[in-house]
Amino acid sequence: MAMADPLRPLMTDGLGRRISYLRISVTDRCDLRCRYCMAEKMQFLPKNQVLTLEEIALLADLFIARGIRKIRLTGGEPLVRRDIGDLVRRIGRRIGTGLDELTLTTNGTRLVDHAEMLADAGVRRINVSLDSRDPERFAHVTRGGKIDQVLVGLDAARAAGLAVKINMVALKGVNDDEILPMLRWCGEQGFDLTLIETMPLGDTGEDRTDHYLPLTLVAERIRAEHALTPLSHRTGGPARYHAVEGMSIKLGVITPLTQNFCADCNRIRMTCEGKIFMCLGHEDHVDFKEALREGGLPAVEPLIDRALRLKPAAHDFRIGAGEGAATRRHMSVTGG
């Protein structure tokens, strides 16, 4: 399957939204335990429930044939998956023959060992999740992570020629005093920065309401120091970007709670189990794994159209006293 197959219908949901972006979680495992993302003691999937790398590659090819133009590999932490380089290279070969871009979201702890491989395979930019540069605070948020591993990884990514965007979840009372310093540091490093509101996904053992920080308030604080100018720039995801006065980088904001971004959603997510979730904030899904293992790709293709019919108009994220998680799934299961 070389390009999008003209004999196959492109992926359009029931509301007429063209689906062109697939996020693939290659593992639910991670070497960190970020407080807003995972519980401290996680029960991970047994190996036989997880798609093989070959199965993931076959499904990626099928989606490209149906018109997917961008794929992002996520986790968990995708770089903890054994032989992840094989998958990156396999999908990377599709760039220019149906696929426009292959990207990756990582916590950065293993970039020092994988940055060159990613660049050689055709990855041109990555997102790195980094909520604090303070060693003690980073260890607190990640439940034991070491910031030096990430900083060395960022140096390796830059040396390999990868464009880096830092993803920072804004957490009241945790890192709100670091947002402006992070922005300025990113400006010095040449990294774009995207700020993200915490999302109520899965039971993390903590009350997210305590740490919810509306990005409308954050933007006001930034504007007091740096003028922000809205940009038309898009990378395929939900972030809305701004130019920052005095800096050459872009500031993105992802606001699932204060400003719903669902009207022009172009994304679907595949978990490492082969479940397709049409929305991060809903439980409805279609399971491809059994069909693939019993009937191959011909058995999977009709399920794509079924999944498209399930895509809702919008997520149902709410946060506040007494509000539970929007889904039982942790973010690490679906993929960030």
pLDDT tens for residues 264-289? Answer: 788 889 999 999 988 765 667 899 99
- Under the banding of pLDDT at 50, 70 and 90, the label for residue 120 is very high
250: annotated binding-site residue? no
Annotated ligand binding at 23? The verdict is yes
For residue 336, name the pLDDT band (cuts at 50, 70, 90): low
Query: Is 268 assigned a ligand-binding role in the annotation?
Result: yes
Is 21 a known ligand-binding residue? Answer: no
Cα torsion at 149, 151, 155, 157 (round to 10°)? 70
Which residue did the predictor score with more confidence, 285 or 51?
A: 51
For the record, the structure tokens of 119 come out as: 């660049």
pLDDT value at 189 more than 80: yes
Q: Crossing angle of helices 111-120/147-159, nearest 10°?
A: 20
- Would the annotation count 37 as a binding residue? yes
For the chain, give the number of residues.
Answer: 336
Comparing CA positions, the residue from 71, 26, 68, 34 lying closest to residue 50 is 26
Which pTM value belongs to this model? 0.87
**Residue 129 is assigned to a ligand binding site:** yes
- Return phi, psi of residue 169, to 5°: -80, 125
Q: Is 186 annotated as a binding residue?
A: no
The owner of tokens 């390999």 is: 160
Sheet holding 250-254, edge to edge: 228-230, 240-244, 250-254, 192-197, 163-170, 125-129, 101-106, 70-74, 21-25, 267-270, 275-277, 285-287
H-only helix segments in the chain: 53-65, 84-92, 111-120, 135-142, 147-159, 179-189, 215-223, 289-310, 331-334
Q: What is the DSSP letter of 187?
A: H
- Known binding residue 12? Answer is no
Is residue 30 marked as binding? yes
pLDDT above 80 (res 208): no
Query: Would the annotation count 272 as a binding residue?
Result: no
